[in-house]
Amino acid sequence: MTDRGFYCGLDAALSVVGGRWKFLVLWQLAVHGPQRFGQLRRLVDGVTEKVLIGALKDLEADHIVVRKDFQELPPHVEYSLTPFGSNLAEALRPLCEWGYAHMDRTGALASQPVRS
């Protein structure tokens, strides 16, 4: 998170999940629960490995996501939402529902709905 001033609460929230990929990672973890990196990459369609790694590091630094390393071979790492991240996901749920309700007006196509 940044130390800059915010215009409103939405500005503060977007500073954490700004951009398409961080929001989609957050949403997939909220809907599907803890996930391994490969599972997340499949769930967040179109994200590159490099971008996903960066998004996860940013979300971890902002205490939205926690990374659990099981210290096994082959490596087993799992990502899940913190209580803070779950709270943010719940706050974003109405925005997601608004998007579904107005996809036809925004010109978006629903590829894989992830309603919970």
pLDDT given at position 109: 59
Q: Model pTM? A: 0.80
Looking at beta carbons, which pairs linking 12-19 to residues 24 or more positions away fall under 8 Å?
A: 13/88, 13/91, 13/92, 16/59, 16/62, 16/64, 16/88, 17/59, 17/64, 17/88, 17/92, 19/55
Q: Which domains does the chain have, with CATH numbers?
A: 9-103 (1.10.10.10)
Q: How many residues does the chain have?
A: 116
Tokens of 107: 């010109």
User: Going residue by residue through the chain (116 aa), what tens digit of pLDDT does each one get?
Assistant: 556 687 788 788 888 888 789 999 999 999 999 999 999 999 999 999 999 999 999 999 999 999 999 988 888 999 999 999 999 999 988 988 888 888 877 766 555 555 44
Q: Please say whether the beta carbons of 41 and 49 come within 8 A.
A: yes
pLDDT given at position 110: 55
DSSP structure class, residue 114: -
Maximum Cα interatomic distance, the chain, rounded to a whole number of Å:
49
pLDDT given at position 103: 80
